Amino acid sequence: MAGFTYATLTTAIQNYTEVDSNVLTSTITDQFIENAELRIFRDVPIDAYKKQSTGNLVTGQTTINVPAKTTFVKGVQVYTSTSVATGTNTWLEKKDESYLQEYIPAETSTGTPKYYAMFGGATGITDTTSGRLFIAPAPDNTYVFKIHYMAIPEGLSSSNTTTYISQYFGNGLLYACLIEAYGYLKGPMDMLTLYENKYKQEIEQFGIEQVGRRKRDDYTDGTVRIQLPSRSP
């Protein structure tokens, strides 16, 4: 199935449900799309939404803000310099916030950071930050840090007419939207079950692509071989 734009997806939802825009207004279908996108985002880790952000630590300060729309942090590097280009780097170990409080209870010692913990959170995806990182020990210099994180992407809308999901996982997005639509319309249970099963089939294949095939190459891992049953004599 080809990818969708915002306009073609909303039309497809109406065509599949046989309901026009008098019932499924743009406000309602926009909510279907947003719910479907968030479901897909949480069902499969998607490479397209892995991000990186750099900044400088503040001497003596034990917290830093994570980038806006961060859902979780994958890792934190600290460069033992004030420049990414020239400094060597170390990966911080992720610990619980209580561990860091015990490690440096008074928060007065400084040095090269070794641990980090995530805490707090924003009240919406448009907030300037999505949480904070607690680091220990407090930095003794304005080292460069790099945060690797997963970010909630900008969703499909009338002002953002295509997304990675709409173009590369269009059928899965459609089925997820139809699940929302039939639930809203209190449609036949067999149709709701049908699209739920179709979505599960598609998300399984999409997951194999994202966390399987995209994590390997033929040179280091060898060509994927599928065992085929032999014909009985």
Non-local CB neighbours of 222 within 8 Å, separated by 6+ positions: none
Q: How far is CA 215 from CA 64, 203, 205, 210, 220, in A?
A: 31, 17, 15, 7, 11
Who contacts 54 (Cβ-Cβ below 8 Å, separation ≥6)? 84, 144, 145, 146, 147
* pLDDT, tens digit (0-9, with 9 covering 90-100), for 126-140: 445 567 899 999 999
CA distance linking residue 217 with residue 37, whole number of Å: 29
- Please name the amino acid found at residue 46: I
Q: For residue range 152-195, what is the model confidence (pLDDT) as tens digits?
A: 889 999 999 999 999 999 999 999 999 999 999 998 899 999 99
- pLDDT tens, residue by residue, 83-119: 665 678 899 999 988 888 888 765 567 888 999 998 8
C-alpha–C-alpha distance, residues 32 and 182, integer Å: 10
Q: Which residues contact 155 (CB under 8 A, 6 or more apart)?
A: 33, 34, 37, 163
Flag whether the pTM goes above 0.85: no
Give the confidence band of 9 by pLDDT, cuts at 50, 70, 90. Answer: very high
Structure tokens at 148: 């690797």
Q: What's residue 104's pLDDT? A: 75
pLDDT at 122 over 90: no
* Side chain identity, residue 110: T
